[in-house]
A = this chain, B = another copy of it.
Amino acid sequence: MPMPFPEDLVRISAKVDNALNSRLANIDAPEKVVRAMRHAALSGGKRLRPFLVIQCAGLFDVSSDLAMPVALALECLHTYSLIHDDLPAMDDDDLRRGQPTVHVEFDEATAILAGDGLQALAFEIITEAEQHYSASICCRLVHDLAHSAGVSGMVGGQILDLAFEKSVPDLSDIERMQAMKTGSLFRYACTCGVTIGGGSAEDRGRLENFANAFGLAFQITDDLLDEEASKEEMGKRTGKDSARGKATFVAHLGIEGARGAAQSRVEDALAALQSYGGEADNLRHLCSYLLTRRV
C-alpha cells in the first residue's frame, strides 16, 4: 500500500539526501572542491529526478535500493548542470535554493571544477562494483545517461537557451529547447527503470511520453513561479527571466495561457500512465502537485 503523497516524496527525498551525504563524505580529494560539491548537492533540492527514477522503476518491480545508484548519479548530473548554468558566463545567478551559488560562495574556478567533478562522479556511482544489476544493464545505463547529459541532450539545450537571448524564438523553439535542456534528464529518469527491470518497448514509449509531458508541465509551472513567487519563497532570484526579456512559456502564452498549457500537459502525462494501476498513483499525485506547487 503506497503512502499518500507528498509523504512519499519527502521520504524518498530524505533517503536520497542521506545517500548523497554518505557518498560525498567518502571521497579522497582536495577538501575545497569537495566542500563546493557538498554545498551544491546538499542544499535541499526537491529530488524530483530521483523520485521519478524510483517511482518509475517501481512499475517494473525494481526496488528503490536497486534504483538508488542511478537516482544518485542523475542528481549529481543535475547538480553539476545547475552549478555551471549559474556561472557569470551563463545565467549569472547568485542565489540558488536560498544559498549563495557555488561561484559566489567559493570562486568561479572552483565552481567549474566542482561541476566537472560531479559529472565524473555520476559515472563513477552508476558503475560502482556492489551494484546488483547486470553488467550489460550497467553499460546501457551509462550509455543512455551520457547521451542524455551531452550535447544532444541537456548541454545542447543550454546552448539553445543561451542563443535565445539574442534571437526571438517561437513557442516550438522553446519547447524543443526545453525538451533537450530539462526533458533529456526527465526522460532518462522515467525510462531507466525499464532498462533495469526489463520492461517492454511499449513501456519505454509510454514512459517517454509521460516524461515529455511531465517535463513540459514542470517547466511551464517553473516559468509561472519565476513570474509570480517571491525570492523568499523560491530561494532564488525571481522575475529575472522576464526582466531579461528571456523567452519563457509565460512570455509567449501569458499567465492564464501558461496555466492552461500546464493543465493540458498534466492531462497528457496522466493519459500516458493509463495502462498502469495503483502502482503509478505516486506519479499521478506528482502531476497534480505540479499544478499547485509554490516552490
Q: Is the CB of A156 within 8 A of B30?
A: yes
Q: How many residues on chain A are close to B (CB under 8 Å)?
A: 54
Instruction: Choose from B34, B139, B149, B162 the contact partner of A151 (Cβ within 8 Å).
Output: B34
* Nearest-Cβ distance from residue A167 to partner chain B, whole angstroms: 12
Instruction: Choose from B33, B107, B145 the contact partner of A156 (Cβ within 8 Å).
Output: B33
* Nearest-Cβ distance from residue A217 to partner chain B, whole angstroms: 24
Known: A139-B127, A155-B113, A156-B33. A146 touches B120 (CB 8 A): yes
The 0/1 profile, CB within 8 Å of B marked 1, for residues 249-287 of chain A is 000000000000000000000000000000000000000
Using Cβ atoms and an 8 Å threshold, which residues of chain B touch A143? 123-124, 127-129
Identity of the chain B residue whose Cβ is nearest the Cβ of A133 in the assembled complex = B139
Using Cβ atoms and an 8 Å threshold, which residues of chain B touch A110? 159
Q: Is the CB of B89 within 8 A of A107?
A: yes
Number of copies: 2
Instruction: Choose from B121, B136, B147 the contact partner of A124 (Cβ within 8 Å).
Output: B147
- Is the CB of A152 closer than 8 A to any CB of chain B? yes
- Is the CB of A28 closer than 8 A to any CB of chain B? yes
Provide 30 A-B residue pairs closer than 8 Å at the C-beta atoms, listed in order of the A residue. Answer: A27-B151, A29-B150, A29-B156, A30-B163, A33-B159, A84-B112, A84-B116, A87-B109, A89-B109, A112-B112, A113-B158, A113-B159, A114-B151, A116-B150, A117-B151, A119-B119, A120-B146, A120-B149, A121-B150, A122-B146, A123-B123, A123-B146, A124-B143, A124-B146, A124-B147, A127-B139, A127-B140, A134-B135, A135-B135, A139-B139
Minimum-distance CB pairs A-B, first 4? A120-B150, A89-B108, A135-B135, A29-B151
Residues of A whose CB lies within 8 Å of any CB of B are 27-30, 32-34, 37, 80, 84, 87, 89-90, 107-110, 112-117, 119-124, 127-129, 134-136, 138-140, 142-143, 145-147, 149-152, 155-156, 158-160, 162-163
